[in-house]
Amino acid sequence: MEFSGCGTALVTPFRPDLTIDTDALAELVEWQIASGIDFLVACGTTAETPTLSDREALDVIRLIVSVANGRVPVVAGCTHNATREAIERARNAADIRGVSALLTANPYYNKPTQEGQFQHFQAIAQSVALPVIIYNIPGRSGANCEPATLVRLARACPNIVAVKESSGNLQQITELIHAFHDDLDVASVRVFAGDDNIALAAIAVGAAGLISVASNEIPAEMHEMISAALNDDWARARALHRKWYPLLLANFWETSPGPVKHVLVRMGRIPPVWRLPMVPPSANVAARLDSLIAALELKAAVAH
């Protein structure tokens, strides 16, 4: 796995009857690719994946892979708090022809120790031949995978090729990047920022790019910003960051993907449907989002 840059953690559109809106999802994928996004992530946090059945998740992955048709890499999410279940999800996703890599997050609710996380991730990585990206998101899972544990995992499992670091802790991200860089056995392992608002800071200390929420709404702009940073065009990267920073923050005014789906609804990209326990943004947040949409002049989708 040698891709870098900006990848989109895609939302999952739903129809009013709560089934997956395959047409809207296919159009989102086409728009993302046409906008220059570097890779796509299916069934991550932003996809409301905990509300999908195992069969639905595989259907989403198959659809995204089919529409992408090899034009960009597709990373498939396969997270569970029970290691056996996570292994089954990983194997099923890996069986889908066209999946480039797997993304698996910390076990949630259990709050395992560092040794527990090591054994969990090791078991998943050893169960498949595909490249594996570890997704560290302690704010959602209640467990933080520390840099020393991640380096140990990379040494133990050659197919662990990257980490999506969503701790929000720039010091920890920096320590992880330095730890990989300084260890010749795992120096090729990449770190991707998992938080839009600190992506430039992470790239400045060596991150390979960003797995983004905001690129659901502004894929071309996020791709350009991350590409500029990776190519040392910091004037351009900072200018784009300053323009879009309010949106990067707004997507988390309430629990994601509530706000980002609201924006996509207003842009005419998806229906206004969430699956419980996710709900639309509150009236106050929705009004603030609408004002921001107008201020940023976010474009509506072209009618087909």
Residue-wise pLDDT tens digits, 111-152: 999 999 999 999 999 999 999 999 999 999 999 999 999 999
Q: How confident is the model at residue 177 (pLDDT cuts 50, 70, 90)?
A: very high
pLDDT 10s digits, 127-136: 999 999 999 9
pLDDT 10s digits, 217-251: 999 999 999 999 999 999 999 999 999 999 999 99
Return the structure tokens found at 153: 């995992």
Question: CA torsion sign, 157 to 160 to 165 to 170?
Answer: positive
Predicted pLDDT of residue 131:
97
pLDDT 10s digits, 265-283: 999 999 999 999 999 999 9
* Model confidence at 304: pLDDT above 50: no
Close Cβ partners of 144 (under 8 Å, ≥ 6 residues apart): 106, 136, 138, 167, 172
Asked if residue 2 lies in contact with residue 38, where contact means CB atoms within 8 angstroms, the answer is no
Give dist(CA 64, CA 73) in Å, integer: 10
Note the pTM of the prediction, 2 decimals. 0.96
Give dist(CA 57, CA 77) in Å, integer: 9
Asked if residue 27 lies in contact with residue 209, where contact means CB atoms within 8 angstroms, the answer is no
Closest CA to 83 of 107, 115, 114: 107
Closest CA to 2 of 98, 101, 81, 90: 101
Q: State the catalytic residues.
A: 135, 164
Mean of all residue pLDDT scores within the chain: 96
SS3 content of the chain, % helix, strand, coil (to 5): 50, 15, 40
What is the set of domains in the chain, with CATH numbers? Answer: 5-231 (3.20.20.70)
Q: How confident is the model at residue 2 (pLDDT cuts 50, 70, 90)?
A: confident
* Model confidence at 302: pLDDT above 80: no
Q: What is the CA radius of gyration of the chain?
A: 18
Give dist(CA 192, CA 208) in Å, integer: 5
Predicted pLDDT of residue 303:
43
* Model confidence at 301: pLDDT above 60: no
pLDDT 10s digits, 84-117: 999 999 999 999 999 999 999 999 999 999 999 9
